Amino acid sequence: MDEQDATAGGRRGGDELRERIAAGWSALRDEVAGWLNEQTAFGLSRREVIAGRASTAARATVGACAAVVLWGLIGPSVVARVREIAERVIASGPPAQNAVIAVVIGGWLIGRWFRWAVRRPPVSAAAVTLAAAQVASMLTPGDVDERVARHEAAHAVVAHALGAQVRQLRALPVGNTGGRCEWGFEADRTSAVENAWVSLCALAAGELEVPEGPYAWPGASGDTHEAIAAATFIIRRGEHPAEYDGPLTIEGLLAGAHRRATALLAELQPALGAVAAALIARGRLDQTEVAAAIAGAGGSTGRDR
């Protein structure tokens, strides 16, 4: 091989190398560009993620530099001061050391408490409103729905007229109920069947003064359940109540009680109005207040005892 050939061969080799480097560089660039443009799990390309974090990285760098500079300026004096305090504490007597320990523990506890206070979730406005409404309903009688008051008063007037003791009357919403009328019987009453009949008539009276609106159901479901229970009780006993001579069936007893309650309420409109008015004014009435309202309206003309 002569010199020219060798030179030409070297040039050819140099060109090949340059081409290979250029091809490698371009492949690497494409590879990197592809990697940067690839979508990540966040729904963004890597390029976008890096761009989005550039400001954070810059701030972290500036912060780190500032910390290094600051420490360079005041670090040695801080260390010297801490060493001086530590030496003084070591040199002092136990009482001073105890005081320092107490201050450190106290500061740590206050710090813990502060961290807890800052991190705990804020009380929601809805919870505050609910609590305020509950407190307000306990302190004030609230608004009585007139229709609920008339419904409860109808139970009370008929129960009272038929000799039951009306023990409590309420026309304020609690849970699912808009109100409640509770009655009971003296121990010396004639019979359990008579008691069941009186309850049946008092429950039927509630059907004649039906509260409309959201409390009608399930509020009235209690009346229905109790009426069916009372009628079932009478049927099981197989005895006729004194005021009823129809068939001993659920339908018959419910219809009979309905008729009796209709007649009584027609007669006792003044008492019904008086009890309802007292209930609207006060929200709830006890036994004596119910009796007083009925007596004030001219008493009941039913089967008084």
Cβ–Cβ under 8 Å, residues 45 and 34: no
Query: Among the candidate windows 35-43, 132-140, 185-193, 221-229, which touches Zn ion by CB under 5 A?
Result: 221-229
Residue whose pair of structure tokens reads 């004649």 in the numeric block: 208
| Nearer CB in complex with Zn ion: 206/302 | 206
Q: Give the C-alpha separation, 70 to 82, whole Å.
A: 17
Site track for Zn ion across 107-146, x = CB under 5 A: ----------------------------------------
The residue within the footprint of Zn ion, chosen from 206, 241, 256, 283 (CB under 5 A), is 206
| Nearer CB in complex with Zn ion: 194/223 | 223
Q: Shortest approach of Zn ion to residue 152 CB, angstroms?
A: 7
Q: Shortest approach of Zn ion to residue 206 CB, angstroms?
A: 4
Q: Shortest approach of Zn ion to residue 155 CB, angstroms?
A: 6
In terms of Cβ atoms closer than 10 Å to its own Cβ (0-12, 13-18, 19+), residue 177 is: middle
| Nearer CB in complex with Zn ion: 48/154 | 154
| Nearer CB in complex with Zn ion: 164/298 | 164
| Nearer CB in complex with Zn ion: 155/297 | 155
Q: Shortest approach of Zn ion to residue 43 CB, angstroms?
A: 59
Query: Among the candidate windows 131-139, 199-207, 238-246, 291-299, which touches Zn ion by CB under 5 A?
Result: 199-207
Count of residues interacting with Zn ion (CB under 5 A): 2
Residue 155, C-beta contacts closer than 8 angstroms, at least 6 positions apart: 181, 183, 202, 203, 205, 206
| Nearer CB in complex with Zn ion: 145/223 | 223
223 binds Zn ion (CB under 5 A): yes
| Nearer CB in complex with Zn ion: 76/214 | 214
Whether the CA torsion 68, 69, 70, 73 is positive or negative: it is positive
Give me the residue whose beta carbon is nearest to Zn ion: 206
173 binds Zn ion (CB under 5 A): no
Q: Give the C-alpha separation, 235 to 80, whole Å.
A: 99
Q: Shortest approach of Zn ion to residue 133 CB, angstroms?
A: 25
Site residues, Zn ion (CB under 5 A): 206, 223
